[in-house]
Amino acid sequence: MGVIRIQAFGPLRLWLNEEPVLDKAWPTQKSRQLFEILLIHYGRLVPADKLMDYLWPALSVKQARNNLWVTMSQTRRVLEPDLAPRAASTFILKQGDGYLLQPNQDCWIDIKRFQESIDQAQHAASSSEAIEHLQHAVDLYLGDLFTHDPYAEWAIQPRRQLREAFISTALELASAYAHQGRFRRSIKICRYCLGFDPSRESIYRALMLYLYCAGEKSEALHVYEAARQMLLAEIGVEPATQTKILLQQIQNQQVIGVDIEGQYPPHDDTRSALFLLSQMPLVGRTQELKQLVDLIHELKNGRCQIGLVTGESGIGKSRLLQEANEKARQGGLATLRISCHQIEQDLLYEPLIDLVRQMHQAWPELIKSLAPVWLVELGFLLPDLIKSPRQAVNFYDDVTETRQGHLFQAVLQYLSLAAHESGLIITVEDIQWADEGTLLFLHYLGRRINASGILLLLSYRQEERDADPQLANFLHQLQRLPMTTTVHLDRLTARDIDRLLAAQPTLPENWANWLYAETLGNPFFIVSILQSLVEQQLIPDEPTGQTQPPSGISLPHSIKESIKERLRSLETKACVIMEWLAVYGRPLDFQTLKAISDQEDDTLLEIVDHLLQRNFLLEGADGFEFSHHKVAEFLYAELSDIRRIVSHQKIGQTLKRIGKDSPALLAYHFVRAGNTELAIKYWLQAGQAALGGYALRLAASHFSSVLELADKPGSRLEAYIGLGYALTILDEVDEAASVLQVGITLAEKVHDAWRIARLGFRYAQLVSRQHPSDAAAVEIRHALLLAEKVQDENLIARLLLLLSVAQASNGMLPDALDSVIQARTFSQKVKDQHLEAQTLNELGFIYTQLGEFKKGIDAVEKALALQASSPDPGISTYSWNILGRGLGGFGKYQQALEAFETCRQQAAELEDRFFLAQVPNMLGWLYRELYAFERAEQCDQESVDLAIKYDKSPIEISARLNLCLDWLGMKRWDDSYVALQHIEKQIAAGQFGFHQWRWRLRLLHIWGHYYLQTGHPELALSNSENLWDLAQEVNAQKYMCLSQQLQGDALIELVRLDEAAIALQRAVQLAISIAYRPVLWEAGCQLATIQPEISQEILAKGRNLVRETASQLLDSDLQQGFLNSSTIQALFAANNPT
């Protein structure tokens, strides 16, 4: 039996091995009801007679018993789909004349865990432990038992008992929080309980007490009146004496057991704002809400969507998304919400970090299901939660867009674990303030939304889109996707405001036109003004019947004025706390706020509770933040210049002292504090961190900030190094070259040899990416001299590796081999395993180009072994690719096919477009070696198509050349001729970048075969000679071998048999030395036709290799096609009369 998870609170839901059991899985309604009855009585025997009475009261005993037997079988099959016929269930047991649902270690039931948590709370050793268990029990109660079947007879009594247990537990939890001074939590719990039992007077009394303790006297009185009206309407009685006594105590500020003097804020006549945006009805948004609800239904049906919510500031985007998320949660979907803040545009991945942190808090166990390669990347985002061998990027590390893809794929893999369980809604608000990296991730997620199990909801201000090209482009890309829906929010109409006022009994409904004229229908302005008027006591407590706005009401003429009026009602301490939050600029947790504000715990807690009650603040996963950004903007703008400077300095120093927050945030505060030295220090750290997170434009911005501030050469040079590299990876070549040259000039001026070497390295990298290999080699050697001068062995290793790539590109394979061997030696000296793995990969590549396949295999296997403990997906993908080449060249075709498939799988996970396009080309090569020309053609054509799609010209030329060989094998000479002519022109024009020598070698070889097959052996012979000369020049032994084979075949056609025999014998010897099988059996077969007396040993070796090759192949069609090919048949027929 698999792992079963059962949710009975709310509608019945089941998960079997983490997969949801859909409603349609129940064969009949009775089978589901039978399970519900057993579930209510879990662990206890339910007599069969009782089950029959519940489910089939009108049937005879015989009929009911037969139905019970069939239905019980159906129920067991839902829970245990693989249960054999007539086999005993391990979950629903038959005992005597009854049945028992017996939970075991593989079965989790919410009602069982609920009751266990309550018991654990009663026996807890401390109040904090008791609170933890009580909170867990309350969190489990998602609704009354079996809300989908409210009239089921068997559920009525258990439902009532569980609800009673829940309310008692929740009130006990509220009391525990109150004893800690956490009145806001207590108030929230009481309001939640009223939703389940709105007529329970004890809940009203508790709510009144906690509101009073939180400084909300008038709100406590309002609750009493609401309770009184409810009791009169529902059961026709006045509140109990106990409730009336509490009312009098609150009115007189003499509540027994409450220390009046110690309460903050002092009790006065300031009334709570009743018109909170979060509590007012959602009006004028029926169509917009329906659009989002439709997207939620689509997600439930397995179709993932993207929703964009847009409108002006204050238009109600957050409220609409809040309502949609609540409906989703009621429907059993999981939700995650993050917000972007203006200050975070310079902070690397802050919203993304928040998202992953929330995910970890909601599902702490899921992280264990991730592969180690993804944990490495997530550890970069959350080093405090996830231990990871991945270190912060340093100067020597490579930074590429592919590596950014590794990080994004890790986050997506993590989110998908939760999404695939029950569907996941991710809401990201105010994306106009998202940093570059977060926007890139959202774009990445948006393009992969179809198979993710995620509904992505994004909000943004329309006016910001028009002013931000990056945001506009991002949104344009998303809106092009067919699964994207855009929801536009307009201002409210006078009729909408009329409906809003109708929900507030103290406001005359005919104020709607008046409010609309003053506010033009902006919801935030409307609510802010009503809050201000309430707090000024300019709106009556009770309906008065008046039809005109009362005299004396002076409506604020702007949102700022209304905010100002509201702030006047706050005490100084509360205003100071809000100013700290405004200067900080983003959510702030309690401990950091305490450190910044120098307040004691109790005082700060009461201040925060009061601000939360007044709806100035909200509390989220990351701490406290303003209920609306306009309040923060107003407070910050109202501060004097000196106050801002002092506040930023205090925040920066506090964060520095407690070791909290990112370098970019510290730099932000120190810049505004005028502390240039520390700002420069942290901007440099922020730039390096942005490079580590592959956020290249953000990195460039940080380094540019240093150049604007710094006058000391050391800081400027570090900024030039970082900025030059960021621009290099962004392919902004001219800008990068200019920055690096300016840096080199400055470094030479101040005689900073160490930084001259680093700048030289960066410039060599830039030139290597953009210029012919010979020019790159010159710059690399120059940089190498500089690195040797300062004895930077890490830098030397990387430059030698870079030089080997340039040399291999130029066809200088022996020189490239020497360079990469030296690079490996230096990588071992500096003990950098990732760098050593890179050198081994390059070593393997060069050996395969030289035709030394066994050495290439050995090098790459060592590279893979080095990565066993700390894998780098990019490096290992390349390792598997080179291993496939080596194995294929060595004749291990089955292993080579498997290596290339592993490479393709890893490339698909990482979305590495280079290898996605290149692997089919390599598979085509293997199939062609095995004479499966049709398969080879399919693979090579796929490679051409992908190379064009992804703009990978070297792969395109390689695949096109392979296609020509495929067509020659299929005797499609005209196709080959047309393609070869076109390719020859492109190679001559230098259209395919580096490795021109490789393209020329392959072109000579293919033209030679074309001439041979089309009756022009003299031209084939000429090509073979040119091929030999070029292969010798670069020491490419495989092509030296192929040139001799081509020469021998041409000479046979020219009836120059003695010369042909010499050439073919030379080809065979070269093939034996590099273990290149096709030439061995093909040339051996040709030798047998002209010198049978000396070919027997060669033929025997070739036949044995064919048998060995065929026995390895797992694909029977491929194996038979190979053995039945004309070449292999000829090999076995040669000199063999049988």
| pLDDT over 80 (residue 403) | no
| pLDDT over 90 (residue 854) | yes
Specify the pLDDT at position 919: 95
- Residue 236 — very low, low, confident or very high, per pLDDT cuts 50/70/90? confident
Specify the pLDDT at position 971: 94
| pLDDT over 90 (residue 398) | no
475-485 pLDDT, tens digit each: 999 998 899 99
Retrieve residue 1074's tokens.
């590099």
Of 640-644, 807-811, 864-868, give the lowest mean pLDDT range: 807-811
C-alpha–C-alpha distance, residues 166 and 110, integer Å: 13
| pLDDT over 90 (residue 124) | no
Specify the pLDDT at position 355: 92
Specify the pLDDT at position 269: 34
| pLDDT over 70 (residue 508) | no
Specify the pLDDT at position 1076: 79
Q: Are 55 and 67 in contact (CB under 8 A)?
A: yes
Specify the pLDDT at position 263: 41
Q: Which stretch of DSSP H or E encloses residue 311?
A: strand 306-311
Q: What is the dihedral of CA 454, 460, 462, 465, to 10 degrees?
A: -90
Of 203-212, 408-417, 1068-1077, give the lowest mean pLDDT range: 1068-1077
- Residue 548 — very low, low, confident or very high, per pLDDT cuts 50/70/90? low
| pLDDT over 80 (residue 97) | yes
Specify the pLDDT at position 799: 93
C-alpha–C-alpha distance, residues 377 and 873, integer Å: 10
Assign residue 712 a region (left: φ > 0; alpha: ψ between -120 and 50; beta: otherwise). beta
- Residue 1 — very low, low, confident or very high, per pLDDT cuts 50/70/90? low
Question: Rounded mean pLDDT of 671-681?
Answer: 94
Specify the pLDDT at position 265: 36
Q: pTM for the whole thing?
A: 0.64
Q: Which amino acid is at 606?
A: E
902-913 pLDDT, tens digit each: 999 888 877 788
Of 334-348, 514-528, 802-816, give the lowest mean pLDDT range: 514-528
- Say which residues have a Cβ less than 8 Å from residue 637's Cβ, sequence separation at least 6: none
Question: Rounded mean pLDDT of 783-789?
Answer: 94
74-90 pLDDT, tens digit each: 898 898 888 877 677 88
C-alpha–C-alpha distance, residues 27 and 17, integer Å: 20
- Residue 534 — very low, low, confident or very high, per pLDDT cuts 50/70/90? low
Specify the pLDDT at position 400: 61
| pLDDT over 80 (residue 397) | no
- Residue 763 — very low, low, confident or very high, per pLDDT cuts 50/70/90? very high
- The percent of residues in the chain predicted with pLDDT above 70, rounded, is 90
Question: Rounded mean pLDDT of 861-886?
Answer: 88
Of 349-363, 377-391, 988-1002, 1061-1075, give the lowest mean pLDDT range: 377-391
| pLDDT over 80 (residue 556) | no
- Residue 276 — very low, low, confident or very high, per pLDDT cuts 50/70/90? very low
| pLDDT over 60 (residue 558) | no
Question: Rounded mean pLDDT of 185-198?
Answer: 90
Specify the pLDDT at position 383: 75
633-648 pLDDT, tens digit each: 888 888 888 999 999 9
Specify the pLDDT at position 216: 82
| pLDDT over 60 (residue 725) | yes
C-alpha–C-alpha distance, residues 153 and 169, integer Å: 25
Retrieve residue 148's tokens.
């989908």
Q: Which stretch of DSSP H or E encloses residue 532?
A: helix 523-535
Question: Rounded mean pLDDT of 782-801?
Answer: 93
- Residue 773 — very low, low, confident or very high, per pLDDT cuts 50/70/90? low
Q: What is the dihedral of CA 705, 402, 431, 358, to 10 degrees?
A: -110
Specify the pLDDT at position 184: 83
What DSSP string describes 664-718? HHHHHHHHHTT-HHHHHHHHHHHHHHHHHTT-HHHHHHHHHHHHHH--SHHHHHH
The beta strands (E) that lie in 818-940 are given as none
- Residue 632 — very low, low, confident or very high, per pLDDT cuts 50/70/90? confident
589-601 pLDDT, tens digit each: 888 999 999 988 8
What are the contacts of 494-499 at 24+ separation with CB within 8 A? 494/521, 496/283, 496/284, 496/521, 497/283, 497/521, 497/526, 499/281, 499/283, 499/284
Of 85-94, 736-745, 1110-1119, give the lowest mean pLDDT range: 85-94
Specify the pLDDT at position 540: 56
| pLDDT over 50 (residue 586) | yes
Q: Are 611 and 672 in contact (CB under 8 A)?
A: no
C-alpha–C-alpha distance, residues 1089 and 1095, integer Å: 9
Of 137-151, 770-784, 876-890, 1015-1029, give the lowest mean pLDDT range: 770-784
**What mean pLDDT is reported for the chain?**
85
- Residue 170 — very low, low, confident or very high, per pLDDT cuts 50/70/90? very high
874-893 pLDDT, tens digit each: 788 999 999 999 999 888 99
Question: Rounded mean pLDDT of 1043-1061?
Answer: 92
C-alpha–C-alpha distance, residues 415 and 454, integer Å: 8
Specify the pLDDT at position 274: 35
SS3 550: coil
- Say which residues have a Cβ less than 8 Å from residue 292's Cβ, sequence separation at least 6: 307, 309, 320, 321, 324, 457, 487
C-alpha–C-alpha distance, residues 562 and 532, integer Å: 6
Specify the pLDDT at position 273: 35
Q: Are 1031 and 1039 in contact (CB under 8 A)?
A: yes
Q: Are 742 and 711 in contact (CB under 8 A)?
A: no
Specify the pLDDT at position 13: 92
Q: What backbone phi and psi angles, to 5 degrees, belong to 27?
A: -60, -40
52-72 pLDDT, tens digit each: 988 998 888 888 998 999 899
